[in-house]
Amino acid sequence: MRQKKKSRSVCCWSMLALVVLAIAAVILLIVMIKPTDDGSGTPGKPVKKYADALTLAMQFFDVQKSGKLEQNQIEWRGDSGLQDGSEAKLDLSKGMYDAGDHMKFGFPMAFTATVLSWAILEYGDQMQVVDQLEPARSSLKWITDYLINAHPSENVLYIQVGNPKLDHSCWNRPEDMKGKRPLRQVNTSAPGTDVAAETAAALASASLVFKSVDSTYASSLLKHAKQLFAFADKYRKSYSISIPEVRSFYNSTGYGDELLWAAGWLYHATGEKSYFEYATGKTAEAYGNWGNPTWFSWDNKLAGAQVLLSRVSFFGSKDVASNDVISKYRETAEAVMCGFLPKSPTATESRTENGLIWVSEWNALQQSVSSAFLAVVYSDYMHTSRTPQISCSGSTFKASDLRDFAISQANYVLGENPMQMSYVVGYGDTYPQQVHHRGASIPADENPSCKDGFKWLEADTPNPNIATGALVGGPFLNDTYIDVRNNSMQGEPSTYNSALLVGLLSGLVTRSSVVQSFT
């Protein structure tokens, strides 16, 4: 009897041990799968539609490349702009054409690089899961190589290749350009604080991207970034005032946002106290616009700077995270987020009936995609730091609410809209066929002169070449789109829109914690 009781006890303890081991195994599995707060969480399974769209969106940078193309993936593109910069004995052949034309505008091109860098820094591990990290780095370097060459001395920055009026009087392929490609520069006599600071932001952020893969190149990027920031700050004047002709194309409405944006990136890139003090000092008080949400765009970086510097509040050491001005950055970033959320008491009314953020009939999707990108980034700051909620005039919202908003904008862009069409060229069964893009509109075996090519602009036929991954301007306020090539208002793509789209899709393609430090 005693022996039998002993056997029963052994059996029970054995079963209990098995249960404990099973529970331990489940807990271990959860820990292995669940993203960790230090950013080491392994990305989850990719969402196919976002992975497919991201792969396409990345290809548009190849469509836009100038210079001698390396490992060209776009069969209808070839070498172009090989003599760009020659009048100043510089090699400005690289870089990217701005949109559907053949201009190289330094201001939006630098913004493209900054956003692409930011996307890689936040979501590089997720890009890697779908094999897009290396293409992203390659496209970024194509721009930063150009920007380095455009900065031949400390206080000189070339900010434009080509004459817009001459360029826009032609309709031909970039490979067939024969007109003059004059240069424009900012310097101590004709300063450009905004464009110099944006270029500093681009090179500083890119230095972080390349730090682990090419430290020599990263050091060069950072050296140029520091020089450009010093130039921008010392000689304060908008480039739109120094060079009035740019007002018709990329007019800057101020430079305070670029100074704060650049200081924020330089602080992240260097950890130097001087940049932190700059970002939280007199310039911040003058241009921070605390509590007033703004739209994030190639012209206004303020909302981006507020989200970027709120990062310090989430993940910085106690002495910097508790800084009063850093708190203002975060509070204003949260005001921006509250404006995006459709159920927030302070939700913006700038959206279509079907929920798309809509601010301007020209290039409407810029604000939609930029808002969604900022929302997914801020959502992931909350997720990683385990911040439970934000407050919007008494109503509370979770990180998942911001992510849902970002998803709504991405899904609209990819085809969940009244037109039932994708605004990303090549994605889905229905997308714009007459994109306002010279190279895409002219057969690759044709080489029309400057004026002869206009017959293709006016032709009512689909483009013979696919501008793969291009994000067109977008719909009108009533959610409609007119697919006519001469409709540049709705049908012209741009590299900076593509950078924002890449950032958004990279944040949605899978789920993982963001890193707590870029360095």
Joined together, the tokens standing for residue 153 give: 């001395």
Is 97 exposed, middle or buried, given 0-12, 13-18 or 19+ CB atoms closer than 10 A?
buried
User: How many residues would you count in the chain?
Assistant: 519
d(C-alpha 314, C-alpha 320), whole Å: 10
d(C-alpha 181, C-alpha 77), whole Å: 20
Q: Is 151 a catalytic residue?
A: no
Is 330 exposed, middle or buried, given 0-12, 13-18 or 19+ CB atoms closer than 10 A?
buried
d(C-alpha 388, C-alpha 454), whole Å: 56
Position 213: which residue type? V
- What's the order of all strands across the beta sheet hosting 157-161? 104-105, 157-161, 183-186
Q: How many CB atoms lie within 10 A of CB 374?
A: 26
d(C-alpha 198, C-alpha 109), whole Å: 9
Helix 106-129 vs helix 133-149: crossing angle, to nearest 10:
160
Q: Could you say which of 151, 224, 383, 436 is catalytic?
A: 436
CA torsion, ordered 206, 116, 294, 371, to nearest 10 deg: -150
CA angle 185, 188, 192 (to 5 degrees): 55
Is 450 exposed, middle or buried, given 0-12, 13-18 or 19+ CB atoms closer than 10 A?
middle
Strand partners, 357: 351
Which of the residues are catalytic?
Answer: 436
